[in-house]
Amino acid sequence: MIDTVVVGSGHNALVSACYLARAGRSVEVLERDTVLGGAVSTVERFPGHAVDRGSSAHIMIRHTGILEELELDRFGLRYLDCDPWAYAPAPPAGDRPGIVFHRDLDRTCRSIDDACGPREADAYRRFVAVWGPRSAAVMRSFSAPPTGRHLVSSFWGLDTGGGGSDLSRRFLASGDALLDEYFDDEPLKAALAWFGAQSGPPMSEPGTAPMVGFAALM
């Protein structure tokens, strides 16, 4: 007898199904596609070329502990991390180089310095210093039951100088507002806005500042 039916086999559905099965339930996953995994599945788009359908950076799940709890390495999961992880081509006009985003912050800042100048490189360093801890707090909140106590404890210690209400306003701001706060260089802002927009909504929408902030976790 089946206790639970999960409709769809995207990564969130598969994670849920695994935890239900670990809890002793009999689970059946239904999928109409021929490939499991949804946005994190790999398919052959062109003969001989395998493509990640969601072009997923896999930032969030690697900060949750899910991979370790489900022991996915036992079933063949292995990450080949890209470094550099992103490249923003230079604008057509002018002689400035493109921007290379490395996993090493100093190397990224040197690239931004070469392309945009030292002021923007310093701004990026400040951005990572502030939004790295904030994004990590978001990850912690995802890993606990959605109660007020757990939410407060996840963000405990983050100080904006204006208290909890100021922190809330910053998380509810648009990605564009966050970028305008830190940066002046439009190509740099465009590169980070592109990264944030991979989560779905345009960066002009309220509440999209954390989407840009996740770049600090790279």
Can you spell out the DSSP letters for 176-217?
HHHHHHH---HHHHHHHHHHHHTTSS-TTSTT-HHHHHGGGG
90 and 48 in a single domain? The answer is no
Task: Record the pTM.
Answer: 0.79
Q: According to the model, what pLDDT value does residue 162 have?
A: 55
Flag whether 69 is in a domain: no
Domain extent for 34: 4-56
pLDDT, tens digit (0-9, with 9 covering 90-100), for 103-159: 999 999 999 999 999 999 999 999 999 898 888 877 777 777 777 676 666 665 565
Domain match, 113 and 163 both: yes
Residue 47 lies in a domain: yes
| Cα separations in angstroms, 51 against 44, 54, 116, 121, 189 | 6, 9, 33, 33, 28
117, 97, 217, 106 alpha-carbon torsion, rounded to 10°: -60
The count of structural domains within the chain is 2
Q: Which position has the token pair 């059946």?
A: 28
Is the domain of 52 the same as that of 98? no
Q: Please indicate, yes or no, whether residues 108 and 48 belong to a single structural domain of this protein.
A: no
Decide if 204 contacts 174 (C-beta within 8 A). Answer: yes
Residue type, 202: P
Residue 131 falls within a domain, yes or no?
yes
